A and B are shown apart, each in its own frame.
Chain A
Amino acid sequence: MAKKKANNHLLLHTALISFTLLSMYPVFWVLALAFSGQQSVGIIDLPMDPTLMERARAIVPIPEHFSVANFVGVWTEQSFGTWLWNSAVVSLMTTVLGVFLACTAAYAFSRFRFPGRNAGMLTFLVSQMFPGTLMLIPLFIIIVKWLGLGNTYFGLVIVYATTAIPFCVWMLKGYFDTIPVDIEESARIDGASPQTIFFRIILPLATPAIAITALFSFMTAWNEFILASIFMEAESNYTAPVGLRFFVGGFSSQWGYFAAGSVIVSLPVVLLFLYLQKYLISGLTAGSVK
């Protein structure tokens, strides 16, 4: 019995390792291009009539010459630093605003029974089905033409924060539902005001869900490029996604800069994601499982 189990695990490990390597390949590929110091889309330059070995070499994601020239170039020759800064400011502001709005609304939906509660929850859900293309032109008219917030951080921030609200509210509400009401009631008997209960008791207890909400709001803003490319006209106001697409979109093919930029842009989100992943499962499932 014990021996059979060990064998099974060997099989599982082989399967898992090969799948993991396969799924990691695109990541290695980007890293290879980023550190290759050149701009082409191939890992090495193949001769006209390559042999089998040369072809195999072209697949292995290790650059021919190791160089950080792409990283240096993307900072010095391109305005990538500015774009990254724009993205950082917009994303952080979105996170703060989005989390605040989602927490308060989710708390009300979870704890109070009031007329319009169900309708409110339902409209939040339905709004997830609104196609982005339907909203683009009206949003452009409202933000740029009426409010005059084109080319500003704030215009993007309010749009991103409200876009993220419905998902965050549903998730947080599910989590708030799991916090026993008794805690609040005993605090109320001890004379705590509603604000104190919300800020001092509920929010600290909901840290995992709030962490996920924050991550989600941050990623909404950090990864969005269509609205950003429509609202931000001046090149100095581009966000990082708009800028990265600029490297390989249309007729330009600066794959080296793109790869280096991608590594820089992905690093913070990937780290955040991995750091918060212990909350990921509890945060996501709390909303759906009653």
Chain B
Amino acid sequence: MSPFRWLASSYVLGLGVAVGITLALSAWLFEGAERDQRVQYERRLAQVEANSLAGALASAAPERIAGVLQAWQARHPAHESAILVGGMELLGSTKPEDAAPRRLGREEKPIFDLANLLRAARETNIGEGVVRKKLVNFDGSVKGAYVVTVPYLANNEFAGVLQVRIRQVADKRSAPSSLGGVPLWLPALLVAVALGALFRARSDLRLDLPRLLLFAAFLALTLAYQYQRMAAYDASDLDGARQVANAVREAVLSYGLPPEGAAAPSPWDTDTYLRPLGVVLGDGTLNESAHGALFAEKTRFFERSLWAAEVLGLVMLLAFLFGYMRRLGATLREHADAYAYVTPAMLGMLVLVFFPFLYGITLAFTDTTLFNESLPFAERWIGWDNFVTILGDFNLYERGPEGLIWNYQNFYWTLMVTIVWTLTNVAIGVSLGFILALILNTEDLKGKAIYRVILILPWAIPNYITALVWRGMFHPQFGVINQVLQMFGMAPVAWFDGVVSSFLTGLTTNGWLSFPFMMVVILGALQSIPKDMYEAAEVEGATRWQRLRHITLPLLRPTLIPAIVLSVVWTFNMFNIIFLVSGGEPAGANEILITKAYKIAFENYQYAYAAAYSTVIFVILLVYGVFQTRVTKATESF
């Protein structure tokens, strides 16, 4: 009987696994953060170089441009090249073969376009009085160098752009704790789950001394590790800031003090909006408290991730100590057959349905667009802002001189259109389907099978084809529907120009393709109603209406309700019809929520805003689903 008997249990294993996972996860996070840090500081250095050079050029006479550029290139081996472009002219270049100044060549169009982009961004910012558009461009597609483009100002007016190319010094070390892109903690987690399933632990919920000790050990080990790496991270951050300060000092030596003076924040150490960061002063001294504040702000998200790693480890430890892992294993073994059958489908669903779903929801809390996709996640995080913008905008209409003017871009307008769209469509589908099913269910009606086959056709034809066909038939000039109207002496209708007429095009199309589904479902249910019930009712003297009301409808309920729920969800998200028939014309008035979300994502490239919009759609459907189930359950007794 050794006093360390409890050590032989799975406790120690659990501790090892939990510590291992937390450390691996933390290490992975640190490596990512350190990589980001290196890149950030190198970009900041490149920014200082570009800003100070642009400042020197701004105050230099045109004939001295070449000299300033040459001196810059000679100052440091990392300075690869620089070009100055103003309008259509190449004003200066460090490369002798460029033979500046001269006109830009055809193959130099990208830099001309970039200059226009930055000019427009600067004008927007000045015009709006806020800093919204980035004024600095980093070309991410160039490997082994930082290519920075900043505006070149002459007499405080936009006169062109300066593009500098600075060699990358940092070695691109591969991260040691990942296996070919897969972070090491992921397999560790899987192994831990498997181990936990095999080993035994007493499954009681007592918190005894050994368990307390293990918790303490876990916290001590992991927190010590995180603390130590955080200190190193902090130190290297300070080191980076010192390098930036050095670069500013060197620039001061070559170009003199910037006009703002020695004590003001250096105008060269800026973010990509050209706002001074305030960490380095004009003469190149480092303001350490400002650096500390910036560091704390920058690492807030990162620190939360570290806490998440800690929590994950704790959860694992709990699972081991209190025997949950063993129970999990026992369950898995007991139902091995069932899980084997479910796994392939579940795996596919997890990777390609649930993960994208969660990713999309996460995206909704950022300000991701096409243009800032590559930024680190923490920088894009904006919380609930998107939802506030969508749901908090009640600017639904304006009172103009000609009555109400609806704002078709407003969320609530689109929601209203979507609800009207869903209700009318389902009503049309169900009533048409019901009438046709009743007719086709008539006894000894000849040719029933033929009618049914023909009436099913609209369902069988791919719905995007249907949509495009109806679009053709509603063509305002040559469309067949306007020909019919004109035949009866009516004026042709410009279908896609009016809010109501455009809505009708979608309604007609969707009505045409959705009645067969309801017809088939109802017909199936009708055929399963026993004939003798009707006969008995007839004997009792029930009228045709009474038979319909008291026999057919109640017996149709169990089939009809799921079919209606399904068709509500389908119609609510019926993308193809709206998108292909009317395209939401006129001016987006007939957009439903789902097509609106698509246009936000792929025409405005506001990915995050579209994701938030889609999340709202999902919540609406979910609430409807829950509500519908409640109501159905409550009325099932009828």
Contacts and interface: CB of A to CB of B under 8 A. Distances in A.
Nearest to A145: B373
Interface stretch (B115-123, B421-429, B459-467): B459-467
A101 interface: yes
Of A26, A141, A280, A290, chain B has the most CB atoms within 10 Å of the CB of: A26
A20 B465 contact: no
Contacts of B622: 126, 129
B521 A225 contact: no
A29 B466 CA distance: 11
Contacts of A201: none
A21 B344 CA distance: 46
A2 B446 CA distance: 15
Classify the secondary structure of B's interface with A: helix
Given A42-B478, A131-B594, A115 B335 contact: yes
Contacts of A265: 462, 465
Interface string B539-576: 00000000000000000001100110000010001010
Nearest to A194: B337
B223 to A, nearest CB: 33
Interface stretch (A65-73, A78-86, A162-170, A177-185): A162-170
A96 interface: no
B460 A270 contact: yes
Interface in B460-491: 460-466, 468-473, 475, 478-480, 483-484, 486-487
Interface residues of B, number: 91
Interface string A18-45: 0110011011011001000000111100
B607 A137 contact: yes
B472 A255 contact: yes
A161 B349 CA distance: 10
A187 interface: no
A274 B466 contact: no
B348 A101 contact: yes
A118 interface: no
A180 to B, nearest CB: 19
A169 B484 CA distance: 46
A269 B462 contact: yes
Given A16-B451, A285-B524, A133 B610 contact: yes
A205 interface: no
A107 B338 CA distance: 9
A210 interface: no
B341 A41 contact: no
B637 to A, nearest CB: 16
A270 B461 contact: yes
B597 interface: yes
Contacts of A136: 598, 601
Contact of B360 (A134, A159, A169, A282): A134
Given A24-B454, A139-B356, A258-B468, A133 B342 contact: no
A165 B348 contact: yes
B569 A104 contact: no
Given A126-B622, A270-B457, A262 B465 contact: yes
A123 B468 contact: no
B354 A133 contact: no
B558 A16 contact: no
Interface string B436-460: 1001001001110001111111111
A288 B563 contact: yes
Interface in B503-535: 512, 520-521, 523-525, 527-528
B351 interface: yes
Of B459, B479, B487, B569, chain A has the most CB atoms within 10 Å of the CB of: B487
Contacts of A58: 480, 483
Contacts of A222: 462
Contacts of B82: none
B244 interface: no
Contact of B621 (A100, A129, A245): A129
A134 B361 contact: yes
Contact of A244 (B446, B465, B621): B465
Contacts of A59: 480, 483-484, 487
B638 interface: no
Contacts of B87: none
A130 B593 CA distance: 13
A131 B468 CA distance: 23
A266 B462 contact: yes
Contacts of B395: none
A41 B611 contact: no
Contact of B357 (A9, A130, A166): A130
Contacts of A75: none
Nearest to A108: B341
A138 to B, nearest CB: 4
A284 interface: yes
B353 A248 contact: no
B226 interface: no
A105 interface: yes
Contacts, number: 262
A28 B622 CA distance: 40
Contacts of B361: 134
B6 interface: no
Nearest to B516: A23
A102 interface: yes
Interface string A92-112: 000000001110110111011
A169 B348 CA distance: 13
B607 A165 contact: no
Contact of A269 (B341, B436, B461, B472): B461
A285 B521 contact: yes
Nearest to B450: A20
A282 B524 contact: yes
Interface string B206-235: 000000000000000000000000000000
A161 B462 contact: no
A169 B357 contact: no
B337 A112 contact: yes
B618 interface: yes
Contacts of B473: 26, 29
Contacts of B464: 223, 225, 241, 244-245
Nearest to B357: A130
Given A23-B512, A42-B478, A258-B472, 17 more contacts: A13-B446, A27-B461, A40-B478, A42-B475, A112-B335, A130-B353, A133-B610, A134-B611, A138-B359, A138-B360, A166-B349, A248-B471, A258-B468, A265-B465, A270-B457, A285-B521, A285-B525
Interface of A: 9, 12-13, 15-16, 19-20, 23-24, 26-27, 29-30, 33, 40-43, 46, 52, 55-56, 58-59, 100-102, 104-105, 107-109, 111-112, 114-115, 117, 120, 123-139, 141-142, 158-159, 161-163, 165-166, 169, 194, 219, 222-223, 225-226, 241, 244-245, 248, 255, 258, 262, 265-266, 269-270, 273-274, 277, 280-282, 284-285, 288-290
30 contacts: A12-B442, A24-B457, A41-B475, A42-B475, A42-B479, A55-B487, A101-B348, A117-B338, A125-B625, A126-B622, A128-B569, A129-B618, A129-B622, A130-B353, A133-B597, A133-B598, A134-B361, A134-B611, A138-B357, A141-B359, A142-B355, A142-B356, A142-B359, A158-B352, A165-B353, A244-B464, A245-B464, A245-B580, A266-B462, A289-B525
Interface of B: 331, 335, 337-339, 341-342, 344-346, 348-349, 351-357, 359-361, 363, 436, 439, 442, 445-447, 451-466, 468-473, 475, 478-480, 483-484, 486-487, 512, 520-521, 523-525, 527-528, 558-559, 562-563, 569, 573, 575, 580, 593-594, 597-598, 601, 607, 610-611, 613-615, 617-618, 621-622, 625
